[in-house]
């Protein structure tokens, strides 16, 4: 026998001994859980908490988060139509002296500017005011 074969034979013998100690049915999850009830309950609790956190994060938020001047183009892209319209109305009211015309035009301009920022890969960095001023 070579040196590597001796280690392999020892490992095989240990594996057989472990399986023999587990009984004729071999290893099972049921036996493991019954042998370690507290640990199994803890693991199940942790898994349930983690699943709950993931489900909670995946569900859309029910609260209405409004857009502001510092909101990014990414936020504009994921905002609802009502949120976009509300921001466009506020933008026209605040920046009418800067050439903001009406709500529909402002909304279309913001969508176009944010699409351009997204094309450049800067949608996460550009604020809505910067997008309207084409400062990217």
In tens, the pLDDT along 33-62 reads 888 999 999 999 999 999 999 988 877 655
- Region of 128 (left: φ > 0; alpha: ψ -120 to 50; beta: rest) is alpha
Our count of domains for the chain comes to 2
Instruction: Single out the residue of 82, 61, 75, 73 nearest to residue 109, CA to CA.
Output: 73
Is 100 among the domain residues?
A: yes
Note down the domain range covering 35: 3-58
Residues 103 and 52 in one domain: no
In tens, the pLDDT along 99-131 reads 667 888 899 999 999 999 999 999 899 999 999
Residues 122 and 89 in one domain: yes
């Amino acid at each position: 026998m070579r040196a590597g074969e001796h280690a392999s034979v020892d490992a095989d013998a240990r594996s057989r001994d472990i399986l023999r100690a587990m009984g004729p049915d071999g290893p099972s999850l049921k036996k493991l859980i019954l042998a370690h009830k507290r640990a199994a309950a803890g693991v199940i609790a942790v898994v349930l908490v983690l699943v709950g956190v993931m489900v909670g994060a995946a569900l859309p938020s029910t609260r209405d988060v409004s857009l502001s001047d510092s909101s990014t183009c990414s936020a504009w892209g994921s905002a609802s139509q009502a949120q976009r319209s509300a921001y466009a109305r506020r933008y026209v009211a605040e920046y009418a002296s800067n050439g903001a015309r009406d709500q529909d035009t402002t909304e279309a301009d913001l969508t176009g500017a944010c699409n351009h920022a997204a094309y450049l890969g800067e949608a996460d960095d550009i604020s809505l005011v910067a997008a309207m001023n084409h400062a990217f």
